[in-house]
Amino acid sequence: MKKIYTVALLFLLSILLYIAQGNNSIVSISEFNQKKIYTDGLLNSEINNVTNIANYFFDVEFKPSTKEIIVNEKIIWHNKTEFSTDEIHFHLYPNAYKSNNTLFAKGYNISSSKTKTELNFSIVSVNGKATDLIFIHPENSVLSDSTVAKIELPEVIAPNDSVVIDFKYILKIPESVKRLGYARGRNFFFVSQWYPKVGVFENGSWICSPYYPYLNFYSDFGTYTAKIKVPNSYIVAATGVQTQKVDTLNSSTYLFKQNGAHDFVFLASEQLLHKKDIYTRNDSSQIIINAYVQPERDYYFDRYLECVKNSLNFFEENVGAYPYQSISIVDVPRTSGAGGMEYPTLFTVSADLFSPVETGWPEYLVAHEFSHQFFQGILANNETYEAWLDEGFASYMATKIMYKYYPNILNTFKIASHIPVFGLEFFSYNEIPIIYTLADINIPEGTKSLASYYRNTNLGSLADSSHKLPSRLSYTVNSYSKAELVLHTLERYLGYEKMFSILKQYYKRFKFKHPTAQDFISLVQRNTKEDLNWFFNDFYNSSKTFDYRISYLKQISKDEYEVLAERINDGFFKNDVVLHTEKGTITRKWDTNEQWKIFRFQTPHNVIAAEIDPQRKNLLDLNFANNSYTFEKRVWAPWSLTIRVFFWVQNALMILGSIG
C-alpha cells in the first residue's frame, strides 16, 4: 500500500514540476491545453498559410547600469523566389540615431548625446566566414545615412537555397525618441527597430528602404526565437509567447517564440503592473491577453482589457479570427515616445491621467493599434510605399469598433493639453478656451478624420508613394484621414454587407502575404457588377476635391418643381438628388459627370426642400451646408445663429479683458 502511495506522490510531484518549470508559476489547465492547437504561438490551422523566409535567433543580455544590450543574432534566410541573388540587404534602424544628419533626424532631434546611438558590431559573418557590411543609399537617401547596408555573398543563393548570417553587437539604448529608448525619469526601456533586419527580395530585386522619419516598415515573415537576460528585478514583455523563465540569484532569463511574424520588440521595466485575461474564439480556442500598465494608471486595466476583447470579437465576426496565441497591450509612460505603435502580437498605447469613457480615449487608440495586427501585421503591405493600406484601414476599422461598442462618444476639447471638457472649442488663447460651447454633442462617424482632411485637401493622393509625399501633413492626411474617409465612402456606396464581404475575402486571400493597393481594388471590382473605375480614378488616383450643391429650388407650374444641382469642384461622385415633400421624398439619380444638371419633379404635395447626397455617402464633400435648399425661407435659423455668435463674441471680449 505504501508503494502505491509513493508512486502516486511521485507522479503528482512530476506533474507539478512539469507545469511549473521555467517560470516558477503554475500555468492554468486552459492555457496548457492551448499548446495542442498552437505551434510557436501560431494556430496549427494557419501554419500552411505562412511562408517563413527570414528566421531570427536572439541571445540578448540587458545591462541597465550602462543602458546597453549585448546581442548575438543569427538569421537563416531562405530564397523562396525564382530569382538568384549574390547579395543580401539589411535594415540597420538604430543607426538613424547616429547623428542629426540622418534621414530620420529630418523629423526628430538627435542632437543630444543621450539620444544618440548606433550598432557597434564585433562579428559579421556569412555561413561562418567573416565579411563586411557595405552601406548603401536606396531611394536617394542622404549620403550621411547608414540605415541600409548590404553583404556581398561569396556564393550565389539560388532559388530554394538558404544562407546563415551571424552578428554580434552592442547597442546603447538612447533616451526615448519616437519608438526606441528609455523613458525620462522612469525605469522603462522600450527596444524596437533595434536589430539588423533583412529586406524583402522581390521580383529579383531588394526592397530595403532607409529609416524615414514618419513612415513604418516592410519585411518578410519568419519565426522569432529570443532569449533575454535581465536583472531579476525587471519584468520583460515581448513579441510572441513566453515559453520559459529561468531565475537565478541575480538575473532572470526569458524565452519568447513566435511563428509567422515579421518583427520583434521587447521592453524591460521594474515598474510595470501586469494582468492576464482570456478571449475565447467561436471555435472554443483561447487567446491570452496580457496587459502591462504603469502604476499610476492601474485603473485603466479593465478598460484596456475590455477594448481588446471587443476588438478581437469585431474582427472575428467581420473579417477573420486573430491567428496568434497571445496579444499584449503595453501602456507606456508619458515621457516615452513609444506610445501608439503596433508590432506583431504586441502594441503600445498611452493615456491621460483623467479620461472618461465618453471621450473615446484611450479606447480609440487601443482599437486603432489592435487593428494593425491585421492591417500590416498579417496583411503585410509595404508601409513605406502604400501607408494608407495599413493606417487608413486601421483608422476605418477602429471607428467601426468604437461605434459598435462605444456608441455614445461625445465631442470634447482639452484644457492644459489633457483635461477633457465636453463640447466644441472654436478659439483659444494659451490653452484657455475663449469661443466655445459646453454641451453633450455626439460625434458622427468620420468627423475627426474630416477635420484633419480639411487641413490638406489636395496635396497628394492615396496612390502617391508614401515616402515621396512632400510634407508630414500630406503624409498624415493621405495615409490616415483621407484614406479612412474614402473607405467609409466606399462602404456607404456599396453597403455595409458588401463592404465587409470584400474585407473577409481580402483577409482570407492575402493573410501572411504582401498585398498591394491594386490587389484590394481588383477584389472590389470583382465583387461588384458596376465598373468602379470612376470611383478609384477620383478617390484613389487623383487629388481632386469634391463639392456638390443645390443652387436653387423653384416651382415652375402648379405641381412641377425645378432643382439645379451643381458640381463645383473637379471630383465626381454618383449622387442621389431628392425632393422632400410633406408626404415623403422623390429621388433622382445623378450618375453622369456634368458640371450642373437641372432635375424636374412632379408632386401634388407641399414641397419642403431639395437635397443632394441626403445620406452623406461622399464624406469627401467639402461643404455639406450647401447640399440642401429649402423651398421657403426660414427666418428663425439665421437669427438663432446670430444670437449665438454675439454671445461668443461677448464672452471672448470679457475673457480677453481679464487676461489683460
Q: What is the 3-state secondary structure (H, E, C) of 149-210?
A: EEEEEEEEECCCCEEEEEEEEEEECCECECCEEECCCCCEEEECCCCCEECEEECCEEECCC
pLDDT value of position 16: 39
Residue among 301, 221, 269, 234 nearest 41 (CA): 221
Task: Indicate the DSSP class of residue 127.
Answer: T
Indicate the residue type of 526.
R
The x, y and z cell numbers of residue 30, run together, are 486552459
The x, y and z cell numbers of residue 612, run together, are 443632394
pLDDT value of position 645: 53
List the beta bridge partners of residue 93. Answer: none
pLDDT in tens, 576-632: 999 999 999 999 999 999 999 999 999 999 999 999 999 999 999 999 999 999 987
- H or E segment and range at residue 480: none
In whole angstroms, give the CA distance from residue 198 to residue 89: 6
pLDDT value of position 541: 98
Number of H helices and number of E strands within the chain? 12, 35
pLDDT value of position 353: 85
Cα 105-109-113 angle, rounded to 5 deg: 105
Core vs surface per residue 139-165: b (16+ CB within 10 A) or e: bebeeebbbbbbbebeeebeeeeebeb
Decide: 353 and 418 in contact? Cβ < 8 Å: yes
pLDDT value of position 411: 82
In whole angstroms, give the CA distance from residue 364 to residue 403: 10
pLDDT value of position 1: 44
Q: Provide the H-helix boundaries in 361-461.
A: 363-371, 388-405, 447-453
In whole angstroms, give the CA distance from residue 362 to residue 347: 13
pLDDT value of position 644: 52
Distance of CA 156 to the CA centre of its chain: 38
pLDDT value of position 435: 77
pLDDT value of position 127: 97
The x, y and z cell numbers of residue 70, run together, are 549585448
Backbone angles phi, psi at 526, to 5 degrees: -70, -20
Rg (CA), the chain: 28
pLDDT value of position 8: 42
Indicate the residue type of 278.
I
DSSP states along 206-241: EE-----SS-------EEEEEEEEEETT-EEEESSE
The x, y and z cell numbers of residue 127, run together, are 555561413
**What are the 10-residue block averages of pLDDT along the chain, 660 residues in total?**
41 39 37 72 98 98 98 98 98 98 95 97 98 96 95 97 98 96 96 98 98 96 98 97 96 98 98 97 97 96 98 98 98 94 97 90 97 98 98 98 92 78 77 77 86 94 96 96 98 98 98 98 97 98 97 96 97 98 96 97 96 97 95 58 52 46
pLDDT in tens, 102-145: 999 999 999 999 999 999 999 999 999 999 999 999 998 899 99
In whole angstroms, give the CA distance from residue 304 to residue 294: 12
Residue among 588, 628, 634, 632 nearest 607 (CA): 632
- CA-to-CA separations, 219 to 89, 236, 248, 344, 371, in angstroms, rounded: 11, 24, 36, 12, 18
Output the pTM of the full model. 0.90
CB atoms near residue 430 (< 10 Å): 7
Decide: 539 and 580 in contact? Cβ < 8 Å: no
Residue among 271, 268, 230, 228 nearest 251 (CA): 230
Residue among 304, 244, 229, 237 nearest 264 (CA): 237
**Judging by beta carbons within 10 Å of its beta carbon (0-12, 13-18, 19+), is residue 573 exposed, middle or buried?**
buried
Q: Judging by DSSP bridges, how do beta strands 286-293 and 326-331 pair with one another?
A: parallel
Cα 230-233-238 angle, rounded to 5 deg: 50
Residue among 134, 138, 139 nearest 124 (CA): 134
pLDDT value of position 5: 41
Decide: 466 and 475 in contact? Cβ < 8 Å: yes
pLDDT value of position 230: 98
Backbone angles phi, psi at 494, to 5 degrees: -80, -30
Which residues have CB under 8 Å from 140's CB, separation 6+? Answer: none
